[in-house]
Amino acid sequence: MPETEFDVVIVGAGIIGALVAKELTHARKRVLILEAGTTSGIDSSDSQAFKTYSSFVDQYQTALMKIPNSPYPHNPNAPSPYATDNVQIKSGEVSSAGYTVQTGPYPFMSSYLRQQGGTTLHWMASCPRLLPDDFRIQREYGVGFDWPIGYTDLERDYAKAEWEIGVSGNVEDQRYEGKTFAKGYDYPMEGLPASYVDQWIGERVNGSLFSIDGFDFKPSVVGLPLARNGIPRKFPLSKKQDGFPWSENSMVDEIAGGLYFRSKGAVGAPHLGLRCEGNSSCTPICPVQAKYTALKTLAELNPALCEIRNQCVVSTLDRDENGRITRINYLDYGSKNGDTTQQSVTAEIYVLAAHAVENAKLLLASELANSSDQVGRNLMDHPYFMTWGLAPDNVGSFRGPGYTSGIPAFRNGAFRKDWAASRVDIGNWGWNFSAFSPGSDVDRLLKQNITGKSLRQALAYQVPRQIRFGFQIEQLPSQSNRVTISDQYRDASGLHRPVISYDVSDYTWDAMIKNIEISHHFFDALKVKPDDRFHLGDGPNDADILPTYREYKGVKLGFYGAGHIMGTHRMGNDSKSSVVNDRQRSWDHSNLYITGCGSLPSVGTANPTLTAAALAFRSSRDMLRELR
């Protein structure tokens, strides 16, 4: 083979690209990362890196709309979708106002970010594992698509991911529905303390029993694993010798006869962000970087072995007659004079780690990896449904990070044959996401001519009593939910924009109705009055303003996106029904890996980033075997 410029070229400087690069450079491989977006400061001095991140915080604080991408500058050369782009789509019409082109019947409500650091710059950092049954949903419940691997195949890599990105959690909270952990294993940091509202709800809900459609449930409030810095755990020194599953690259200190995880602080200011400070802007931005972002991993890469080229938008990949990828072509718009130049680069192995939507778009533009006709198909999210109520007591709303606990009782069970599973989170920020509080509360009271001291008293009485449940609902893969491209729709650089067709099946709509029933059981236990109970879709203006509004079985419903964009290049056991194998290697091209959340064949109810990170370690080992 002709000599190549790099051992591996990675497309995308998000969490997956960063983790793969770290594994490869640790093995002394030459790596190039091509990032479509602008730098986030890590390729400059430490002071500049912190200054750049601080500018994101400043932009967020002055933004009128606190949406996921609000802290980050708009980039016409590498545009991203925005939550404000979503509108109701009438039959036969197309919505093309934003970066993505939406053909309906519902808009795809989740956004992502094309910038160094990727979507971890605005994620919530929730890190639950998938359940064993999530990997075999077709076999167990007759729906969905089974994985080519099982939970135990990924258990080692789950542990490695939790230690690499730094997860705070308690294993004893997570031992349910068949999840197993290595003997003596625990998360590197103690779980974040439960908020007051978590404790208040737990005291009243834990141990209650109820049935829905003949299925019995016993809910309990448990802590949520989070990639936010907590208190490092102490482990005995013997763990260093017995194969305790932290990664070789994790930072571990020996102090006073024990092993402690050394949490990673802010990039450029490592003394900041060593503990979660309870700021209430986790999504979209932690002001002190106590939350993990891919910037922390990127900053650790050895510059002698890994080069990061920002402002380089990959346009196509070339292949030879044997199907091997021979080069990547990209547009470099990073010159000081504003010129854009066409460049290319060669490697032994090529890794797409851009994003589920962007990976699919690039493969379709290059006419690659699609002998199965599955590229772009099976696009999934977790439709996010909410219920909320006014508690009889002050529950301390709007304090601390957004979520610290959840109710996992509805993640699995025989009911999944009939309706979708849900993971329930408890919101610490009142009705902010569901009813736009507290701004909407001020507006409502002012319209009632309540001002001055009376206004302050009314807010002080009502706002701290707000409670909210969020239902992250399972969605089944569908061939018609897909990403395509069209020459009719291109961006400022002349590259294709994603065209998205998206719908939600009755399997998920039925779960929303069940979620309302579940919420009533909660509200009964919490003594929330019937007139003080609400759900998404039943607002007086929802039929006109909620993009996903629908009347289903006589119930007014709607949902938002959870920001969990999955599918589009799913893994499987054969090249006829999937795009990649169980190591995320393309069936069609032996030196191409297509990584990230797009590889997930089914989604369960777990936030997907931790699973994608675990898969990245699995793929990295396969790449190293090939390079040897």
d(CA 422, CA 410) in angstroms, rounded, equals 5
Q: Which pair of structure tokens corresponds to residue 11?
A: 């497309």
Q: What is the CA radius of gyration of the chain?
A: 24
Q: For tokens 């949490």, what's the residue?
A: 263
pLDDT band for 2, please (50, 70, 90 cuts): very low
What pLDDT does 564 receive? 98
Given a cut of 50, whether residue 285 has pLDDT beyond it is yes
Partners of 101 in the β-ladder: 499
Given a cut of 70, whether residue 246 has pLDDT beyond it is no
| DSSP character at residue 129 | P
pLDDT band for 250, please (50, 70, 90 cuts): low
d(CA 569, CA 549) in angstroms, rounded, equals 29
Give which of 107, 78, 77 is closest to 95, Cα–Cα: 107
Mean pLDDT on 73-101: 95
Q: What is the mean pLDDT of the chain?
A: 95
Given a cut of 60, whether residue 530 has pLDDT beyond it is yes
Given a cut of 60, whether residue 228 has pLDDT beyond it is yes
Mean pLDDT on 541-552: 97
Are the C-beta atoms of residues 86 and 107 closer than 8 Å to each other?
yes
- Cα–Cα distances (Å) from 314 to 122, 256, 309, in that order, read 23, 50, 11
Task: Count the residues in the chain.
Answer: 628
What pLDDT does 405 receive? 97
Q: Which pair of structure tokens corresponds to residue 523?
A: 């509200």
Given a cut of 60, whether residue 188 has pLDDT beyond it is yes
Other CB atoms within 10 A of residue 302 CB: 12
What pLDDT does 259 receive? 87
CA angle 380, 429, 171 (to 5 degrees): 65
Partners of 331 in the β-ladder: 313, 342
251-270: per-residue pLDDT in tens? 788 888 888 999 999 999 99
**pLDDT exceeding 90 applies to what percent of the chain?**
89
211-224: per-residue pLDDT in tens? 999 999 999 999 99
Where is 283: in which H helix or E strand? none
Mean pLDDT on 142-157: 97
Q: Which pair of structure tokens corresponds to residue 575?
A: 């090249």
Give the three-class secondary structure for 205: helix
pTM for this one? 0.97
d(CA 134, CA 157) in angstroms, rounded, equals 17
Where is 482: in which H helix or E strand? strand 482-484
- Cα–Cα distances (Å) from 522 to 110, 382, 410, 430, 476, in that order, read 28, 22, 13, 16, 27
d(CA 524, CA 517) in angstroms, rounded, equals 11
DSSP H helices in 104-241: 137-141, 151-165, 171-174, 196-205
d(CA 228, CA 125) in angstroms, rounded, equals 7
Other CB atoms within 10 A of residue 177 CB: 15
Give which of 228, 319, 335 is closest to 277, Cα–Cα: 228
Mean pLDDT on 535-545: 96
What pLDDT does 253 receive? 85
Q: Which residues contact 396 (CB under 8 A, 6 or more apart)?
A: 195, 196, 197, 200, 464
Partners of 482 in the β-ladder: 501
d(CA 167, CA 169) in angstroms, rounded, equals 6
| DSSP character at residue 192 | P
Give which of 125, 137, 124 is closest to 177, Cα–Cα: 137
- Cα–Cα distances (Å) from 318 to 329, 330, 605, in that order, read 8, 11, 37
465-518: per-residue pLDDT in tens? 999 999 999 999 999 999 999 999 999 999 999 999 999 999 999 999 999 999
Given a cut of 80, whether residue 43 has pLDDT beyond it is no
Give which of 395, 397, 309 is closest to 345, Cα–Cα: 309
Partners of 610 in the β-ladder: none
Handedness of CA 616, 619, 624, 626 (dihedral sign): negative
**pLDDT exceeding 70 applies to what percent of the chain?**
98
Mean pLDDT on 402-425: 97
- Cα–Cα distances (Å) from 591 to 526, 585, 623, in that order, read 56, 7, 9
Amino acid at 109: M
d(CA 470, CA 407) in angstroms, rounded, equals 10
d(CA 570, CA 15) in angstroms, rounded, equals 19
Give the three-class secondary structure for 11: strand
d(CA 275, CA 148) in angstroms, rounded, equals 38
Q: Which pair of structure tokens corresponds to residue 492?
A: 């400022």
- Rounded (10°) CA dihedral 522, 130, 607, 139: -90
Other CB atoms within 10 A of residue 79 CB: 19
Given a cut of 60, whether residue 359 has pLDDT beyond it is yes
What pLDDT does 52 receive? 94
d(CA 387, CA 583) in angstroms, rounded, equals 39
15-34: per-residue pLDDT in tens? 999 999 999 999 999 999 99
